[in-house]
Chain A
């Protein structure tokens, strides 16, 4: 099943199950993501969407099933886990920037430690990515001195500095004040247009319509709907999807 090398799909999930004690939070999830594909995952809270993308880089350990990232199976092999984490970037709801380091240090740290990039090179790259997320002038500030939207853009730049093949976004805009959401989404749109493989958990339906190749709807640990945006918004097959959409698009 494993296709090695660059021909492998970005992500293959087969028969994924996850339990928290007696709680069955992911039920038999199957998903294949091609390279360069943009997936948006939505669903009510507690539907398992965050848990699913956190399984992809082993922030959560799955109970059964297979996850193959870029041709490498995510199993108990420590080497595989390290390799996958190097290639998969993640952006969190609460930014999780390191508060005791400057923005530049936040960005340059992982390449220096993990990829052994020399400091000067890492910092130059960090500045390039900060430019890309449009805040090069904040490089020497500390995260606490930035607004939420700026912090989230730094978090995106930090993940990009590792030059990942895949980017995971775990509700990147839900902790932001409304006026800051678009500055983050703009950066994500640019990223998408450059061909990055992206899996985004988000409720920003306009973003999904614009960017996604496919939209997944999850409920109670299952993927209940999987469709291209047009079909998803106009002709969803599942009743729960329609209900969710009507709630979220009401306003």
Chain B
């Protein structure tokens, strides 16, 4: 046996078998012990509980939900909530980050200082502390009856109220798609090879496409508008509470603010890094060609910076999606909180944790896959810009 172990091939095999086998053994032991413990409590393992009704409710849902719905429906709602909160936070953080990043790279020293102060302050304080802070601020705001708003936008201790068009849900979704098209169409048009036109002409076509899509969105909203009601449903005080409009709960508001501000401080640095990575030579060449300031920005600096930022931005987005799990700290029923509640009520611990892990793996892997595709699509062909310092 000992001389055998001196053989490299034998040794390699033994090491691998021991390593993988040991890990598998540990996991198996854990599962067996868990089964025994569960059996002692009179519970059975398995995923049957997914079809039982929960008996409890969620405080936020994009789809109809009640205590009679089964667990699998609630898990789905949780994933949707996480995606919804994640997308909101992601978009807001990107907006904040872009502004801050541009300020950081601008030639204006005051804007630069402002951006830098923002980044230094908000990057260096844990996001959960910021979340607690904003949540405390919102819940200590005046009650709806005492709150004052601007043009139908009201911030109160019961949340953030905003006007909303009086339209049916399907029309709303359709309009949302039209809006997405308004953004996506010009990008697609700019990339497609059938449109080999000079820059100016291409810009006009892109603008036209956006205009059409926007008009379509407005038409959809007008058509979908429930007749006999005012077009905008504006929150108004009725008794002690505000009625009408859209109420964004304090939890969701605080989470969005925290994600936007904290995420924005990171994205700001990514945006800055992206712009700094654009070689001076490119900008000088564009200057020499007589392009205007805006043309240099939109045609040279922005596209090149985007390519540099995207991989890092992907990581940041994955991070932000994971940050939605902070929902449990203020009581927003995101995916994680629903799983935690399910464990509390149904007790199917291992199964629920498995679902949680699977859910996040799926979300993060698909997000990374989407961005990798975009990244590949816009990556510079060949090595035109390598070796630039």
Contact = CB atoms under 8 A, between A and B. Distances in A.
A78 B9 CA distance: 9
A79 B9 CA distance: 13
Nearest to B7: A76
Interface in B154-199: none
Contacts, number: 13
A191 interface: no
Interface string A66-82: 00000000001111010
A76 B7 CA distance: 5
B8 interface: yes
A92 to B, nearest CB: 23
Interface string B1-43: 0000011111100000000000000000000000000000000
3 closest residue pairs by CB, A with B: A76-B8, A76-B7, A76-B9
Say whether chain B's binding surface is mostly helix, strand, loop, or mixed.
Answer: helix
A82 to B, nearest CB: 10
Nearest to A79: B6
B43 to A, nearest CB: 51
Nearest to A58: B8
Interface of A: 76-79, 81
A81 B11 CA distance: 14
A78 B8 CA distance: 6
A72 to B, nearest CB: 13
A78 B3 CA distance: 10
Given A76-B9, A77-B6, A78-B7, 10 more contacts: A76-B7, A76-B8, A76-B10, A77-B7, A77-B8, A78-B6, A78-B8, A78-B11, A79-B6, A81-B8
Contacts of B6: 77-79
Contacts of B10: 76
13 contacts: A76-B7, A76-B8, A76-B9, A76-B10, A77-B6, A77-B7, A77-B8, A78-B6, A78-B7, A78-B8, A78-B11, A79-B6, A81-B8
Nearest to A61: B8
Nearest to B9: A76
Nearest to B8: A76
A44 to B, nearest CB: 27
A79 B11 CA distance: 12
A61 B162 CA distance: 71
